[in-house]
Amino acid sequence: MLTIGLLYPGDSAADDYTHLTEPLDAHGVQLLVEETSVGVDAHEVEALLDLGSSERLLEGAARIRGRVDALMWACTSGSFVFGWDGAHAQVAEIAERTGRPASSTSLAFVRACRALSLQRVAVAASYPQDVAQHFTDFLRAGGIEVVGMSSHGIHTAAQVGTLGRDDVGAIVAGAGVTGAEAILVPDTAMHSLGWLPDLEHVAGIPVLTANQVTVFDGLGLLGLRPRLEGFGALFERATGTGTGTGTHATTGTQGAS
C-alpha cells in the first residue's frame, strides 16, 4: 500500500478526504492526514506566510516521513502567498528534508489545469479579494489565463469549514464563467469531495476544488493517474500514468507541468 501524506493546517475540512478512502484503497493507495500547527486563523497575507513557514511544515513532515511515500502541503493560500518561485522553494525544502517527493495545493491547481488542457479559468474564492488576487497572480505565473474571479470575504478557515453543499454550490454558481473552461475553488478548508458532480452540474463546466487537486497531484507524485468515478472531470478524464516528477519545485512556468 502506497501512502500520500497530507500536511493539513488545522482540521476545518480534514474529514473531506474520507470520501476517497475506498476508491483509493482499490488502487493500493491510502491518505494520511497530519495536522500542522496554526498561529492565527486568518485569510490575511501575514498570517498565511506564517501558516506556510518552514518551521510549521517541517515539524509536521518530520512526524510522518517514515510512513509516507509522498507529501502534499494541503493548503492553497499557505502556498500561493509565497509566489511562484517561493511555492516551489517551499516544497523543495520539504522534499530535501524528508527524502520524499513533495508538492502543494497551489502547484496542484496548475498541474490539474494542464492535465485537462485548460487555458482559461474562472476563480471562485472564499477569501477576501486581496488574498484571492494572489491566487490569480499565481495561476498567471503558471501560464493559466484567469478570465473571471469572485471573492467572498470569508476571514477564517474555521468559517469556511462550516459551509454546506448549498453554500459551496452558490459560490460556484456566482463565479464569472464567460469564456472559462473550468472553475477553480481554492480552499482546502472547504468541503467539496462529496459534492463534485453537483458542483459541475451547477457550473456546466469542470470544477476543480482544492482537496480534489491535492489528492490528484499526490497521486501524480507516485506516478499514478487512476480513474475515479464521481469525483469530477479531473479524475474521470485525466487518467493514465502520472509523471512522478518528484518535488515539482523547479522554477519557471514548467515547474508544475
CATH number of the domain enclosing 168 = 3.40.50.12500
87, 206: one domain = no
Which sign does the torsion angle of CA 115, 120, 122, 128 carry? Answer: positive
What is the reported pLDDT for 241?
46
In a domain, 221, yes or no: yes
CB 139 within 8 A of CB 110: yes
In a domain, 169, yes or no: yes
In a domain, 155, yes or no: yes
150, 73: one domain = no
63, 125: one domain = no
60, 132: one domain = no
Which domain, by its residues, includes 122? 116-210
Nearest Cα neighbor of 82 from 119, 61, 107, 99 is: 107
Q: Residues in the chain, how many?
A: 257
91, 216: one domain = yes
220, 206: one domain = no
51, 123: one domain = no
In a domain, 252, yes or no: no
What is the reported pLDDT for 19?
98
How far apart CA 64 and CA 85 sit, in angstroms, is 26
120, 168: one domain = yes
68, 132: one domain = no
Helix-, strand-, coil-residue percentages of the chain, each rounded to 5 = 45, 15, 40
What is the reported pLDDT for 72?
98
> Kind and range of the H or E element at 3?
strand 2-9
The DSSP bridge pattern shows strands 145-151 and 183-185 to be: unpaired
233, 218: one domain = yes
Nearest Cα neighbor of 82 from 38, 141, 35, 42 is: 141
In a domain, 245, yes or no: no
What is the reported pLDDT for 254?
28
Mean pLDDT by runs of 10 across the 257 residues of the chain is 97 96 97 96 92 96 97 97 98 98 98 96 94 96 95 89 94 87 96 97 96 98 95 85 44 28
